[in-house]
Amino acid sequence: MSEKFDYEVLYIGAGHATFDGAAPLAESGVSVGVIESGLVGGTCPNRGCNAKIALDEPVKVTREAQRLNGILKGDISIDWTKNIEHKQEIIDVLPQGLTDRLENAGATIIKGFAQFQDEHTVIVDDQKKVTAEKIVIATGLRPHRLDIPGTDLAHDSEDFLNLKKLPKKLTIIGSGYIGMEFATMANESGADVTVMLHTDKVLRKFYQPYVQKVVDDLKKRGVTFIENSNVQAFAKKNDAYQITYGDNQTLTTDWILDATGRIPNLDNLGLEKIGVKYDKTGVFVNDHLQTNVENIYAAGDVVSNDLPKVTPAAYFESKYLMELFSGQTQDAIEYPVIPSVVFTSPRIAKAGMSVEEAKDKGYKISTNDLANYWYYQVDKEPIAESKQIHDNEGHLVGVTEVSDQAENAVNALLPAIQFKFDRKQVNQLIGIFPSIGYAAWHRA
């Protein structure tokens, strides 16, 4: 225990970037404090991944049942209100569970909003002074809001995940992760959905031919996409809302979701006072996640880097800091392959080298027509394809898949990509048959 300070390590924020590492760090005997202004667990469990995937499950099941219609008898449809209630039941227990995990490990949770006073001192809710030898900024992101007249009439992803009743007409501004996942859920649950694009691109970080398959399918299901929409204003119109866009066109809707991205949670943190460098992309860190102020670190979504802003990245950084602070490593952080997926229906998942980069390098790109592979025909998947990329020595270096279980297929291939398995090693591992993992692996 540090004699000079209240804690050896103090985390600001209690999301994945904190708790995955803070709990084992406290268990190892380091004195740990965690300041959290909202729910312990942060975005992912409370208003992100867990909440979203609970709402998505009936969508996936409904789609499958539609495909198996004739074998399965009777119509099924989603009761939105019940779905929201079920989601809430599942996630309500998570903040307490994570609080217990941190406290049982020996960490102290301090509720309130933190502001730096100096590089070793933080003031919580303008009252309580907390000091620490090292401080980790892990404050995450918050929704970006369009700077246009009427912007307050729009809602964010958290509002959507808490909607007790699904609006009849829902308009989504933005076609990134949130725009596309929420358009899928709302459409399958019975809403009339319009997606307004900034440009003509949807999910620009994913393989575009697969994105197009998902967009075409959503169009067939009634979702409208407006490209280059140039959204200019929102206004209240009787019981509805009017969106002015394009060349002075208007659109009337019942509910507006602003899904135009997320920005670092750094307002009023007092970083200017202590000289920590950052910009609108996040906090600048070196290869030890250390800021320009020696004892201050940053982890998770709030860090300025090119990684996808996803839970596995926050988790990995949190674990790295735990190892650094407990003396298990002094090495620079070395990121593994970080996979990502968009939970549309079907999903698009990817890991490692992209198809575009593989083309530039002249690597081998194999196309797997999975819709015609027998195991994907079991549940009659019409949209299922993958690309596997092998380098010149025959190692699998990248994969992208569009299918209902693309996330599981990509997960199965991660060891081969991460550890550069050679042919002999790949052949040495056999999976359970039949399974999606097996189907992916036997092509590796």
Ligand X SMILES: NC(=O)c1ccc[n+]([C@@H]2O[C@H](COP(=O)([O-])OP(=O)(O)OC[C@H]3O[C@@H](n4cnc5c(N)ncnc54)[C@H](O)[C@@H]3O)[C@@H](O)[C@H]2O)c1
Binding site membership for NAD(+): which residues? 174-181, 261
Nearer to ligand X, 6 or 258 (CB): 258
* Residues 130-159 within binding reach of ligand FAD (CB under 6 A): 138-141, 157
- Binding site, residues? 174-181, 261, 301
Written as one string, the DSSP assignment of 140-181 is -EEE----STTGGGSB-HHHHHT-SS--SEEEEE--SHHHHH
Nearer to ligand FAD, 193 or 358 (CB): 193
Nearest distance from C-beta of residue 49 to ligand X, angstroms = 7
Under rule CB under 6 A, residue 310 binds ligand FAD: yes
Nearer to ligand FAD, 126 or 152 (CB): 126
The tokens for 251 are 């659109």
Contact of residue 44 among ligand FAD, ligand X, none (CB under 5-8 Å per partner type): ligand FAD
Instruction: Let me know: does 75 contact 69? Beta carbons within 8 Å.
Output: no
Rounded CA gap, 370 and 405, in Å?
11
Under rule CB under 6 A, residue 13 binds ligand FAD: yes
Residue nearest ligand X, Cβ-based: 176
Residues lying near ligand X in the complex (CB under 6 A): 146, 173-179, 181, 196, 198, 231, 259-262, 308-310, 340-343
Contact of residue 186 among ligand X, ligand FAD, none (CB under 5-8 Å per partner type): none
Distances (CA, A) of 24 to 9, 28, 95, 289: 12, 6, 18, 18
The tokens for 63 are 């789609």
What torsion do the CA atoms of 106, 110, 111, 114 make, to the nearest 10 degrees?
Answer: -140
Rounded CA gap, 390 and 396, in Å?
4
Contact of residue 398 among ligand X, ligand FAD, none (CB under 5-8 Å per partner type): none
Under rule CB under 6 A, residue 167 binds ligand FAD: no
Backbone dihedral region for residue 327 (phi beyond 0: left; psi -120 to 50: alpha; all else: beta): left
What torsion do the CA atoms of 196, 197, 201, 207 make, to the nearest 10 degrees?
Answer: -60
Contact of residue 43 among ligand X, ligand FAD, none (CB under 5-8 Å per partner type): ligand FAD
- Would you give the end-to-end CA distance of the chain in angstroms? 49
Residues that bind ligand FAD (CB under 6 A): 12-18, 35-38, 42-44, 48-49, 52, 113-114, 138-141, 157, 178, 265, 269, 300-302, 309-312, 314, 343
